[in-house]
């Protein structure tokens, strides 16, 4: 599939969100998890800024995904949400996030899939567990994506996957690397399946 991503806008408040017309895929994760790198690897461009100072983004960045000629209407939106778990002053996700994030996750009608990014090199984290529980309670479809898998050996990958599945209480996890491209094909297939299902509803 040929994908022509187009940066749309950076939205700081619900009034600025794109109109709810096409399926959206949310990218969520702790600061420094490799979210921007994954977005860039999927989009095949340098649209998402890879940051040296973690935890900067406080807005939602929307990317329009054009499947076909760039002039055609976009088929999908990627929503890049602010990272959590970095600010030292507060422990819970909600107090670190801008006020509109939780309502976005619970109420946005066309949100087809939440990608919960975790670092495959770091043991399961309480804040990730909290997010997964929050999304499950909101009846959101979610997939856990473990980033930076290239830093692990074959055995290490299997061990990390098992540990994360157990710690985060999920049946499966997609192991990916933005550096090598490992797992990205499976991730695209998962995204497209969720978007197709959302369109069919």
List contacts with ligand GTP (CB under 6 A): 29, 31-37, 50-51, 54-55, 57, 83, 147-148, 150-151, 177-179
Q: How far is the CB of 108 from ligand GTP (least distance, A)?
A: 20
What distance lies between CA 47 and its chain's CA centroid?
A: 15
Q: Residue 8 or 110: which CB sits closer to ligand GTP?
A: 8
Q: How far is the CB of 189 from ligand GTP (least distance, A)?
A: 19
Residue 181 CA: distances (Å) to CA of 67, 84, 100: 20, 25, 32
Q: What are phi and psi of 162, to 5 degrees?
A: -60, -40
Q: How far is the CB of 97 from ligand GTP (least distance, A)?
A: 12
Q: How far is the CB of 87 from ligand GTP (least distance, A)?
A: 11
Q: Residue 22 or 36: which CB sits closer to ligand GTP?
A: 36
Q: Residue 92 or 180: which CB sits closer to ligand GTP?
A: 180
Residue 115 CA: distances (Å) to CA of 32, 53, 71: 15, 22, 27
A 10 A CB-CB count for 98 gives 15
Q: Residue 67 or 150: which CB sits closer to ligand GTP?
A: 150
Residue 8 CA: distances (Å) to CA of 5, 108, 110, 172: 9, 18, 17, 32
């Amino acid at each position: 599939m040929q994908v022509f991503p187009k940066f749309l806008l950076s939205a700081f408040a619900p009034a600025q969100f794109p109109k709810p017309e096409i399926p959206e895929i949310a990218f969520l994760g702790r600061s420094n998890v490799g979210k921007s790198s994954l977005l860039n690897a999927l989009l095949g461009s340098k649209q998402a800024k890879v940051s040296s100072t973690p935890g900067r983004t406080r807005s939602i960045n929307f990317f329009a995904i054009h499947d076909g000629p760039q002039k055609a209407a976009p088929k999908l939106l990627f929503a890049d949400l602010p990272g959590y778990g970095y600010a030292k002053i507060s422990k819970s996700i909600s107090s670190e996030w801008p006020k509109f994030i939780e309502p976005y996750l619970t109420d946005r009608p066309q949100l087809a899939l939440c990608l919960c990014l975790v670092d495959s090199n770091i043991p399961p984290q309480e804040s990730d567990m909290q997010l997964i529980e929050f999304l499950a309670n909101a009846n959101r479809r979610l997939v856990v994506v473990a980033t930076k898998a290239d830093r692990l050996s074959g055995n290490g990958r299997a061990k990390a996957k098992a540990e994360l599945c157990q710690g985060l209480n999920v049946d499966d996890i997609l192991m990916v690397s933005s550096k090598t491209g490992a797992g990205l094909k499976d991730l695209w297939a998962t995204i497209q399946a969720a978007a197709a299902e959302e369109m069919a509803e």
